[in-house]
Amino acid sequence: MTDSSATAPKPAPLTPDLCVIGAGRAGLALASAAAAFGVPTVLIARDGMNGTGHAANLSATALIAAGAQVQAAREMARFGITAGEPQVNFAQVHDHMARAAAVLAPNATAERFKALGVTLIAGEARFRDRNSVQVGNQVIKARRFAIATGSRPLAPPVPGLKEVAFLSEDTIATLTRRPDRLIVLGGKPAGIALAQALQRLGSAVTIIAERGLLPDWDAEAVGLVRRALLREGVVLHEGTEVLRGETPKGRVRLILAGEPEQVVEGTHLLATDREPDIAALDLELGGITSDATGIIVNAGLRTGNRRVYAIGACAGGAAGGLREPSVADHHAGLVLRRALFRQPARLGAAAIPRLVQSEPALAAVGLSEAEARAKAGAVTVLRWPYAENDKAQAERRTEGFIKLVTDKRGRILGVTIVGAQAGELITPWSIAVQKGLDVKEMAGLVLPAPSLSEISGRAALSAFAPLATKPGLRRLIGFLRRFG
């Protein structure tokens, strides 16, 4: 990798077709695909090729999986099996997280990218003007730029906690000892899943969610996640304002509004708010604007500067500032089609699935019931409970339901699933929402049995239920029966 910070004579400007800023999930996907198509590409990496949200996300997912194993062991008695309380060796859980994140390394080595023909530059990029960026003393004048700088954790916005050492999603994987008492600030997906995992692994966890638990999700489905957290011993403070914080003897103490005020104390604090990582880019010199959602882009992911795209977690405006990992891949593919193949690809935000890795898991695509009612007026809501599914019964995973929202013609507007494997079960519904399919087309799918997928099939079939009570149709069936 070129070390641009060296005090060597000023190198000649690089003039690739594409310059990708940020070697995280979105940047790596775009740079490797562009280079594979023979496009001269420069990739700028500030924190190496592995210091990315993708690695942090994998570690977090590994921690959540460890928590799920502990819980499964605790619940084995339901199957007639007993093995005693599971013992957690947190140092080994840490190693498990590291091993999970390490699988990314072979795909993100400097050698692999060099072999693909990508020119790598180590360092922090900033715009010099509308046509070029600079890293140290290296200038890059590219035909197109893609900003893929991701997001970074925000310090807790609580008076008295400005200097507190806090954990974020990025640093949770560095824990080698179990936090005794963990306070999670915020009610967002990653924080909720991590809170549940650490409670299962033996921490005493308190969640303080000023805006409530998962406020942007279907309230009925969130109710099941809330119930599970409380059942497992997580302490919840929802809708409660945090007035101030204190840090007595290295601990964290939060004072919550109320009559009287409540005090929550912990050994560790996990803060889950993030902001787009764009402050160092000197965007205004590049003719690029931003707001709280991130870099403002249009539906083609173009910024105010025609040469420059923004992708992944740093993209705001029409991209909505979404942080789902799937967004990074979706954006990379879209820019590849637009910039290299000149295709008129546009954001299809409605079809981006969202996932909370809690148990029960929560997954959604398209509009929620409330959004659909606001947008489409008359909607139909179809649902099917896990409890009516053979496999769910056999596996004792009966908590949950699927909810389909259609317009009055039957077009699927949105789907929410809460329950086991929700993140897997949402996949066909992503296709359905993206393609604007009719629910009756989904009802015609033949599904494997026994499987949890049958929950989806039964929900779709329930669209026909009103027909069964139509007197005219019943008379017609009666008439046809006479012919054998």
Ligand X SMILES: Cc1cc2nc3c(=O)[nH]c(=O)nc-3n(C[C@H](O)[C@H](O)[C@H](O)COP(=O)(O)OP(=O)(O)OC[C@H]3O[C@@H](n4cnc5c(N)ncnc54)[C@H](O)[C@@H]3O)c2cc1C
What single DSSP character describes residue 247? Answer: -
**Token reading at 46:** 């500030």
Q: How far is CA 3 from CA 48, 62, 152, in A?
A: 11, 33, 24
Least Cβ distance, residue 73 to ligand X (angstroms): 22
57 binds ligand X (CB under 6 A): yes
CB-wise, 307 or 458, nearer to ligand X? 307
148 binds ligand X (CB under 6 A): yes
144 binds ligand X (CB under 6 A): no
Least Cβ distance, residue 356 to ligand X (angstroms): 8
CA gap 130, 302 in Å, rounded = 14
Rounded to the nearest 5 degrees, what angle is found at the Cα of 417, between the Cα atoms of 412 and 418?
Answer: 160
Of 91-99, 229-237, 306-314, 398-406, the segment contacting ligand X by CB under 6 A is 306-314
CA gap 81, 361 in Å, rounded = 25
Burial class (CB within 10 angstroms; exposed 0-12, middle 13-18, buried 19+) of 142? buried
237 binds ligand X (CB under 6 A): no
Name the phi and psi angles at 101, rounded to 5.
-70, -30
CA gap 404, 62 in Å, rounded = 30
Task: Please write down the HEC assignment for all residues of 418-461.
Answer: EECCHHHHCHHHHHHHHHCCEHHHHHCCCCCCCCCCHHHHHHHH
The residue number whose beta carbon is nearest to ligand X equals 24
CB-wise, 247 or 427, nearer to ligand X? 427
Q: Are the beta carbons of 308 and 286 closer than 8 angstroms?
A: yes
User: What would the x/- binding string for ligand X be over residues 277 to 296, using CB under 6 A?
Assistant: x--xx---------------
CB-wise, 100 or 404, nearer to ligand X? 100
Least Cβ distance, residue 249 to ligand X (angstroms): 28
Of 1-9, 52-60, 79-87, 374-382, the segment contacting ligand X by CB under 6 A is 52-60
CB-wise, 52 or 406, nearer to ligand X? 52
Closest listed residue to residue 265, CA positions, set 180, 193, 175, 197: 180
Q: Pick one of 145, 167, 170, 432: the residue that binds ligand X (CB under 6 A).
A: 170
Dmax of the chain from CA atoms? 95
362 binds ligand X (CB under 6 A): no
149 binds ligand X (CB under 6 A): yes
Q: Pick one of 94, 144, 226, 323: the residue that binds ligand X (CB under 6 A).
A: 323
Least Cβ distance, residue 330 to ligand X (angstroms): 11
CB-wise, 321 or 457, nearer to ligand X? 321
**Token reading at 355:** 């996932």
Q: Pick one of 97, 120, 125, 432: the residue that binds ligand X (CB under 6 A).
A: 125
24 binds ligand X (CB under 6 A): yes
Q: Are the beta carbons of 123 and 135 closer than 8 angstroms?
A: yes
Question: Which residues contact ligand X by CB under 6 A?
Answer: 21-27, 44-47, 51-54, 56-57, 60-61, 124-125, 148-151, 169-170, 190, 193, 277, 280-281, 312-314, 323, 325, 328, 357
